[in-house]
């Protein structure tokens, strides 16, 4: 596999209550809000492996580490899958120049949730599992 030229983009945490958790990270820990957005649609659902998924996101500036808080809508959280939609789920997000090329260069034994997906925000994302089963997201903007 060629060098994917990864750089750390974020550490993601799935939460039950975005506003309450945001208050803790912002008001108690002093982190500033870098971005706030929502994502839904078929590409997002496919990328995260959760049927009819939609979620609210807040990115916080952690002085060198972006922290992503995500709250999935109640319907997605009610899904039987124990994946990214469940509170307590975490993942590391790595930015790459070309997600499709990165995906094509992966060894056959690397588990992915889906092929790369371009979401309604314009980001192309891909989730893979490391050898321990932890989720790693690769993003291209």
pLDDT per residue rounded down to tens, the chain (141 residues): 667 789 999 999 999 899 999 998 899 888 999 999 999 999 999 999 988 999 999 999 988 889 999 999 988 778 756 688 888 899 999 999 999 999 999 999 899 999 999 999 999 999 998 876 879 999 999
pTM of the model: 0.83
Superfamily classification of domain 7-140: 2,3-Dihydroxybiphenyl 1,2-Dioxygenase, domain 1 (3.10.180.10)
Tell me the pLDDT of the chain averaged across its residues: 91
Q: Please give the Cα distance from 69 to 26 (Å, whole number).
A: 11
pLDDT on residue 81: 67
139: nearest Cα among 32, 41, 84, 128: 128
Q: Pairing state of beta strands 66-72 and 7-14?
A: parallel
Q: Which residues face 68 on adjacent strands?
A: 12, 59
């Amino acid at each position: 596999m060629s060098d994917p030229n990864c750089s750390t983009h974020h550490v993601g945490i799935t939460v039950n209550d975005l506003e309450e958790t945001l208050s803790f990270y912002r008001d108690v820990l002093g982190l500033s809000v870098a971005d706030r957005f929502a994502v839904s649609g078929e590409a997002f659902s496919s990328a995260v492996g959760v049927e009819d998924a939609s979620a609210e996101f807040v990115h916080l500036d952690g002085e060198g580490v972006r922290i992503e808080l995500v709250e999935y809508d109640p319907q997605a959280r009610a899904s039987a899958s124990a994946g990214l939609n469940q509170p307590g789920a975490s993942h590391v997000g790595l930015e790459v120049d070309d997600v499709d090329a990165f995906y094509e260069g992966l060894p056959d034994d690397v588990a992915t949730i889906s092929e790369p997906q371009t979401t309604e925000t314009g980001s192309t994302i891909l989730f893979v599992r490391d050898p321990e089963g932890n989720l790693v997201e690769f993003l291209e903007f």
